[in-house]
Amino acid sequence: MSTPPERGHDRSEPSLSAIVGERRQLINLAYRLLGSLTEAEDAVQEAYSRWYAMSGRQQQAVESPGAWLTTVAGRICLDLLGSARVRRERYVGQWIPEPLPDRTEWVSGSAGGDGADPADRVTLNESVSMAFLVVLESMTPAERVAFVLHDVFRYPFTEIAGIVGRTPGACRQLASSGRRRIGAAQASAVPTAGQAGLVRHFKEAWEARDIEALVGLLDPHATMIADGGGLVSSVLRPVEGSENIAQYLIHIAGRAPGLTLLERTVNGQPGLVAQHSGVTVTVAAFGLDGDRITRIWAIRNPEKLRPWNGTGQT
């Protein structure tokens, strides 16, 4: 039987450090579950609020604070995913996950409430690429939580069951279903250098308004989706086919004189950023298959571009 802690800070300081140290892992998890850094930070903040709302005795009774926080954050995300589906049905145009810059390109001043850049807390690997996040959007909330927790973060199904509210066997089936969705959507792997080169050629062709070159870089059945959220002008439906996409891009270039295109890392992959008068107005992520571009995700919603412009959270 453990004895109550003595007055002072001998035992509280290490405990506090351990609790705060879980934040990065929780942000990583919540962003992959929600596809929004803003919502991820809110979910994690709510989990911490629930922890600190407990009495000291209740906190001491928790065998693993990290596991407790993960469970609570996971349940919060699960609830948010359910309500997000309703909100996104009312969303103006197409909804695309919030794009993240590389930590070296993060605009200072855009951090969250704890004073550290959120980009420094999100590990940019293949499980956070735009293509991966878009497939996650096609999963049911329970599938997404079970798959991400098990396949990405390696949590056992016994722990996932407590978060999702299903049996371990049911969680195993949910994760397997999510895995099939990912497998069906995977394109052939393209080395990073090849990705960067393809995106660079695309940028140069767009700048030159070379429609033939653009068509040659795009898969004949390529799709472009734009997300303006009803806050800025944007195509509301997917643009399909290489020629239609190329013509649309040339049209946009003609309507936006002074637009500057920059090669940037978007969710850990080569992408493009369009700036006007120094302000980022579009972030483009790409899906590639071999030597062709198959998907373009163009995020124009200014609320999703805050990390790129240093406007922070409201």
Angle of CA points 111, 114, 120, to nearest 5°: 55
* 244 membership: H or E segment, kind and range: helix 242-255
Give me the DSSP letters along 159-186: HHHHHHTS-HHHHHHHHHHHHHHHHHHP
Q: For residues 32 and 144, what is the distance between their CA atoms, to the nearest angstrom? A: 9
CATH topology of domain 125-186: Arc Repressor Mutant, subunit A (1.10.10)
Helix, strand, coil in percent for the chain, rounding step 5 = 55, 15, 30
Distances (CA, A) of 40 to 31, 54, 80, 279: 5, 22, 10, 25
Amino acid 136: pLDDT: 95
The list of the chain residues with pLDDT below 50 reads 1-14, 106-120, 313-314
Amino acid 128: pLDDT: 87
Q: For residues 306 and 231, what is the distance between their CA atoms, to the nearest angstrom? A: 14
Q: For residues 150 and 171, what is the distance between their CA atoms, to the nearest angstrom? A: 9
Domain chopping of the chain, boundaries: 8-90, 125-186, 192-309
Amino acid 188: pLDDT: 62
The model's pTM is 0.85
Q: Please name the residues in contact with 168: beta carbons below 8 A apart, sequence gap of 6 or more.
A: 157, 158, 160, 161
Q: For residues 62 and 314, what is the distance between their CA atoms, to the nearest angstrom? A: 33
* 31 membership: H or E segment, kind and range: helix 23-34
3-class DSSP state for residue 61?
coil
Alpha carbon distance, N-terminus to C-terminus of the chain: 47
Structure tokens at 55: 């009495």
Helices 12-20 and 65-89 meet at what angle, rounded to 10?
30
pLDDT in tens, 207-216: 999 999 999 9
Chain-centroid distance of CA 158 in Å reads 26
Q: Is-contact 226 234, C-beta < 8 A?
A: yes
Amino acid 3: pLDDT: 40
Q: Which of 112, 147, 106 lies closest to 124, judged by CA?
A: 106
Q: For residues 61 and 5, what is the distance between their CA atoms, to the nearest angstrom? A: 12
* 189 membership: H or E segment, kind and range: none
3-class DSSP state for residue 55?
coil
pLDDT in tens, 66-100: 999 999 999 999 999 998 877 877 889 999 999 99
CATH topology of domain 192-309: Nuclear Transport Factor 2; Chain: A, (3.10.450)
Helices 242-255 and 192-207 meet at what angle, rounded to 10?
60
Q: Which of 27, 18, 84, 5 lies closest to 51, judged by CA?
A: 18
Distances (CA, A) of 296 to 12, 44, 87, 116, 185: 50, 30, 23, 31, 15
